[in-house]
Amino acid sequence: MTEALGFVNAGAALGIGLLVGLERERRKGEGDRRDSAGLRTFAITSLLGYATIRAGGPLLLGFVALALGALVTLAYWKNLDKDPGITSEVALFAVLVLGALCVSAPALATAIGVVMSGLLASRQVLHHFARSQLTAVELRDGLMLLIAALVILPLAPDRYLGPYNAINLRTLCSLTVMLMAVGGLGHVAVRTLGTRYGYALGAIASGFASATMTVAAMGHLAAKEPANVKMLSAAALLANVATLAQIALIVGAVEPGLLRWIGWPLLCGLLTVSVYAGALLFARPRVRVEEAIQHGGAFSLKLALTVVVAMTSLTVLSSAMLDEFGRVGMIVTATFSGLADAHASTASMASLAKSGLLPFDDAAMPLLMAMSSNSVSKCLVAWLSGGRRFAGYVIPGQVLMTLAIWAGLLLPNLPR
């Protein structure tokens, strides 16, 4: 059994060398200008790394790496005037290490080898993207997002502080990163698909993170791109599709029986907002706007911090209402918490219904109140972030969706 596994691991090392070597062979060139390493060199180097670890362990691998480094350096200086790049040389070292890694983790080594081959094969695409498409502002925003997500967020303490223990620094950082990512996702979608479909698909996807933040991000773009205000308004409204879907998923996960009471309201709201947003999205523009894609920053950090501060203030207010009035103020609390996020109220009401503390028909009313107040919050955010014209398209859509939700409550309950 062990011998069979050894052959499998050696085969993985050979496969990695052949895969990377095949890509390098295609770019090796011919004549005096060809690279020193090709298909056979990479395959042998990968097997050398595997055999070295099996025979002598890490110490022998270190001596082999030094010897390989001397050979690579000699070949590099020999061809310095012809090809100053060192991609093949670095790839050769990587293949040596991946071959050695196949002894203990062949799956990981193979995955890394495939990714490395993809990067090598995408040379022209990546160079064109870095030099011609990626702007300095976009690079800055991307680095800022990575620092916030990978450095600041993990260091933020996950505990509740402040008045009524309503402030969680980890949550605040998560919301900030979320809004930055929402803006970045929409920016990438627009750069890739164009304004008409990029904004819409990006808003639906980012709406699963935060529909209110998506509205704010679309409004911020509308202030900079007035020619695309209809498409941005449609995208902001389509973020409600994600909100309604998340509410259905949350209720279905916590207490599926509650879907009988709120199924029609959710469906009516979904159909209404989809039709309204579709009318805006596919309206014939007065000017050709597909060429008006802006290449500025991917998101607004100031906008992200402003929205997070506003949502934190609403959370503290909701906690104060719950502490002051107790269960009597349940609907009031749900309404206020819905101003910041309808999902928290949804989970709370569904949990109470599941525990038997709240009848299903009584739970439907606070849920709809939370969704309605969340719609009011989106209207306010639309006005503040995008101005009068953007709000003039978004607010009627939010009002129609809210009316449709309440109208759906009048329909008979869904069958079990």
- How does pLDDT run across 190-248, given as a tens digit for each residue? 666 655 666 777 777 767 667 787 888 888 888 888 888 888 899 899 988 888 887 78
Residue 414 lies in a domain: no
- What would the pLDDT profile of 115-145 be if each residue is shown by its tens digit? 888 888 877 776 666 666 666 777 777 788 8
- One domain for residues 105 and 186: no
216 belongs to a structural domain: yes
Indicate whether 390 belongs to any domain: yes
Q: From 129, 146, 167, give the residue that closes a domain.
A: 129
- Using the 3D structure, point to which of 77, 102, 129 is the last residue of a domain: 129
Both 233 and 371 in one domain: the answer is yes
Residue 415, domain member (yes or no): no
Do 52 and 111 reside in the same domain of the chain? yes
Same domain, 162 and 86: no
Same domain, 142 and 244: yes
Judge if 263 and 121 occupy the same domain. no
Say if residue 293 is in the same domain as residue 147: yes
Q: What parts of the chain have a pLDDT lower than 70?
A: 1-6, 27-37, 75-76, 78-86, 126-135, 162-166, 175, 178-179, 182-183, 185-198, 206, 208-209, 250, 253-255, 283-300, 303-304, 306-308, 310-363, 413-416
| 200 and 305 part of one domain | yes
The residue among 370, 288, 285 whose CA lies nearest residue 336 is 370
Q: How many domains does the chain have?
A: 2
Q: pLDDT (tens digit, 9 = 90+) per residue, 41-56?
A: 888 888 888 888 888 7
Rounded to the nearest integer, the mean pLDDT of the chain is: 75
Q: Are residues 238 and 119 both part of a single domain?
A: no
Give the domain-ending residue among 100, 129, 158: 129
Is 413 domain-assigned? no
**What's the confidence (pLDDT) of residue 80?**
57
76 and 200 assigned to the same domain? no
Predicted local distance difference test score (pLDDT) of residue 311? 59
pLDDT at residue 286, as a whole number:
45
- What was the pLDDT predicted at 347? 59
CB-based contact 416:260 (threshold 8 Å): yes
| pTM to 2 decimal places | 0.52
Same structural domain for residues 123 and 139? no
pLDDT of residue 289: 41
Is 30 inside any structural domain?
yes
Q: Does residue 277 sit within a domain?
A: yes
| 416 part of a folded domain | no
Domain, as residue range, for 84: 2-129
* pLDDT at site 275: 94
Same-domain check for residues 106 and 197: no
